[in-house]
Structure 1
Amino acid sequence: MAGTTLRPSLAPGGLAGTNIGPGRPPSPSSVNSYRVSAVVERLTGHALLGNRSDTIEFFKLCLSLARGIDYAVANNEVPNKAQDLPLLLKQVCQRKKDNFLQAAIMVLMLSVKNACKIGWFSEKESEELIILANEIGSSFCILGNINAGPSNSPSTIKQIMERFYPRMRMGQILASLEVKPGYGAYVIDFQILKTTVHSPEEKIRLFVAQTDSIETSACIICPPQVSFLLNGKGVDRRTTVLMDSGPQLPTNVTTMLKYGTNLLQAVGQFNGHYIIAVAFVSVMSSPDTPVPPDYVQPAVASVDPDSDIIEGPSRISLRCPIRYAMVVA
């Protein structure tokens, strides 16, 4: 992906010594296909044993298969064992009530959803697998009004960008969601492919804005009691541990992302209706860039001395159930 520092979702070098073909070193794609086949065989054995199988190894195999699927999807490839996956995945999901395995199965099914979207399986199989993935995902998050995948910029985002970020241009939106007031734990997964077309000047940014009123720069203040995480890591100055109290520019999150499946989480108390998006954004550096006549310079908000006081002795622990990352507020 030109112009970015995204990292591949799988480093197949762990099997670099595998003798897949005579005469020359195996390609990364061959190594990944071999790896997926090996993991599928091991998981099939665990599925036959049911609850008597090694739970820890089952957990690791789910994550390994997810990485293999991510790598293949990102490179527009289909592993040799893809046709064996639907039946195996249904067997794997039978253990979704195991608290220890839930997170690993969730990660695996997120990757499978993206394989479904690009035609790995038949229409019927894809529909069944997506239903399974959504059932498991519902135990971790609120689905809300979610739009995953490439889309055109919603009109509300366009209005906010023109009014408060006149020197920024939003391109392809990778994922977006709308949330309502109140406490919520929202999760959305999205794909970044190596074939994704964008200009070298564009960076991937996190856009957050309150839509109840977009007339003042208060709409681009991050909700103060909400933490935003990408792939299990807190977004800089957008968590309850460290947050700017005033209006913010869309945050550059390019280095937090990878080819394949990525995961955005928004957890906490929302004080209004918000729209959240991950998108390619370019910055126009020319001082001659025309500024809209109704442009409003974002005001610097005063810091409330009580804004970071935690009432009472309790601490809220936000543990990401997908990546096992921790944010403590």
Structure 2
Amino acid sequence: MAQQEGRGRPTMKDVAEAAGVSRALVSIVFRDAPGAGEETRRHVREVAERLGYRVDRRAQLLRQSRTRTLGVVFDVHAAFHGEIVEELYPAADSRGLALSLSAITPMRTEEIAVESLLDERVEGLVLLGSALPAAALMDVADRLPSVAVARPTGGAMPAARTDDRAGGRLAARHLVELGRRRVVYLDGGDVAGGRERREGHLEAMAEAGLPADVVAGGLDEEAGVRAARELLDRSQLPDAVAAFNDRCAIGVLDVLLRAGVDVPREIAVIGFDDIRAGRLETIGLSTIAQDAAGLASDAVDLVVDGRPGAERVRAPRLVVRRTTGG
């Protein structure tokens, strides 16, 4: 059937809706990737033919380029991203691949960072902590092999991540086991892993029969400073703080120590990620560690092996240091 007058060229989304399948499955069919039966493939192709859908040949040509390079999109201000990038180099090298980096900055969006790598004709993309919606992730995955690191994708593209919900539970349970009862959680909002860490914390507090106390936190030291000042203004101080990440926790520590608060006797503090700064003896930040090397290895494997919708999830690990009494 010809395209309807007044409409643009049919898209993969149009085919998925008409065929009654997911967009990811349509992508699998037209990439001849594993994951769909012969009857499903035939049905999808028949619907596509009826709609007049044609595969984007530009994307095919892009896949045929042999740059032997993986593009990596990362947030220049995210400390943990730097640690994953460091581990990506040996992981890529073991597969005979080089890396090309493209940074997200306050003046440079993730979309621009991705497009610049596509212009370089990289053979695959690794997106660290991507904030792109599922539809945009699908669009990227349709263009070339890609993986999202440190966030769930719901099958929009392969994912390599930590079990953030389990990490949130670990941190809260550690504080409760120390006898802390007035625990504040500094929330990361809607960023990658934010919802899962918050839910894990709330689950652990509910299991302990303790009230939830969630305060807007953030991703960096400045956010921790603001949150800590708010806590100091309370009539009763909390006896523990679990922060969304280590940078936020370090900001909290700075304010508490300057205010003469005894950490951890009066207030215990725990972060998430296990970045290098938190390991310094003068800081000694207790944290929930992510396996940067494992995530990097998983990411490269998922891109190279081309497994649409696959997900590898690694367990987090509690690291006890001075700020909770370690």
TM-score range, shorter chain: under 0.3
Question: TM-score, normalised on structure 1?
Answer: 0.27
Greater relative contact order, per chain length (Cα 8 Å cut-off, separation 6+): 1
Larger fraction in helix = 2
Task: From the CA coordinates, give the structure whose radius of gyration is larger.
Answer: 2
Question: TM-score, normalised on structure 2?
Answer: 0.27
Larger fraction in strand = 1
